[in-house]
């Protein structure tokens, strides 16, 4: 059975992902607070004690390392804050030729792994596997991994509009529908004829190289 087959399933899944992101954000904030305490404590120790040159150097290195780790954690916090607002914008279901089952891959502006299982639940749009979202319609597809070419079948392709933590709409299409007006029209209209018309317009835009609004 397809993973998150209905829109209601997708909305529930979005809430689950946001809970995981919130947990990761809280853990990252705790790390940042801990680095800040370490820096203050080490600086206070240096100031309040008469240390020889070697001890001063060692403690200054410790401060430098804590600052570097803290800055990295702050950048990660910013990524998590963005993801909570809009975790992903696309999904592809890919059945690798050598694998026994297909996998649902959600694609966002940053990657994210479940803090508990370490399983990737959001793929960065720049990741090799994400290239299939842009390069292929449903059907045979492949991507270039570090170990070589991975071939298989795209069985599903979805796009989402998620803003301020809320899913405004989702659409199923074999194309990348970049124009927001077209996205809304597809999400509201289930008539196959209308979908074919909109998809044809989109294909012509892609072919002509006309920039799409976002």
pLDDT in tens, 124-163: 999 999 999 988 889 999 999 998 999 999 999 999 999 9
Domains of the chain, by residue range, sit at: 10-84, 175-214
Q: What pLDDT sits at residue 189?
A: 55
pLDDT digits (tens, 9 = 90+) for 76-104: 999 999 999 999 999 999 999 988 788 99
Token pair listed for 70: 């803290």
Question: What average pLDDT does the segment 22-26 reach?
Answer: 94
Neighbours of 28 (CB within 10 A): 20
**What pLDDT was estimated at residue 197?**
53
- For residues 7 and 91, give the distance between their C-alpha atoms in angstroms, rounded to a whole number: 13
Average of per-residue pLDDT values in the chain: 84
141 and 94 Cβ atoms separated by less than 8 Å: yes
List 159's β-bridge partners, or say none. 90, 171
The Cα–Cα gap between 100 and 131 comes to: 22
- Quick: pLDDT tens for 35-74: 888 888 888 888 888 888 888 888 888 888 888 888 999 9
């Amino acid at each position: 059975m397809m993973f998150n087959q209905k829109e209601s399933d997708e909305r529930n899944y979005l809430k689950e992902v946001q809970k995981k992101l919130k947990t990761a954000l809280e853990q990252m904030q705790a790390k940042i607070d801990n680095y800040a305490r370490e820096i203050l404590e080490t600086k206070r120790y240096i100031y309040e004690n008469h240390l020889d040159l070697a001890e001063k150097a060692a403690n200054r290195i410790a401060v430098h390392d804590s600052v570097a780790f803290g800055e990295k954690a702050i950048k990660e916090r910013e990524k998590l804050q963005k993801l909570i607002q809009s975790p992903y914008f696309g999904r592809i279901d890919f059945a690798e030729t050598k694998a026994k089952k297909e996998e649902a891959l959600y694609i966002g502006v940053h990657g994210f792994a479940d803090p508990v299982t370490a399983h990737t639940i959001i793929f960065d749009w720049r990741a090799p596997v994400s290239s299939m979202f842009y390069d292929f319609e449903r059907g045979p597809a492949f991507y270039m991994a570090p170990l070589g070419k991975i071939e298989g079948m795209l069985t599903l392709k979805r796009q989402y509009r998620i803003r301020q933590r809320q899913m405004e709409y989702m659409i199923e299409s074999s194309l990348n529908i970049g124009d927001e007006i077209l996205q809304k029209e597809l999400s509201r209209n289930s008539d196959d004829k209308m979908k074919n018309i909109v998809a044809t317009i989109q294909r012509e835009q892609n072919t002509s190289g006309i920039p799409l609004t976002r």
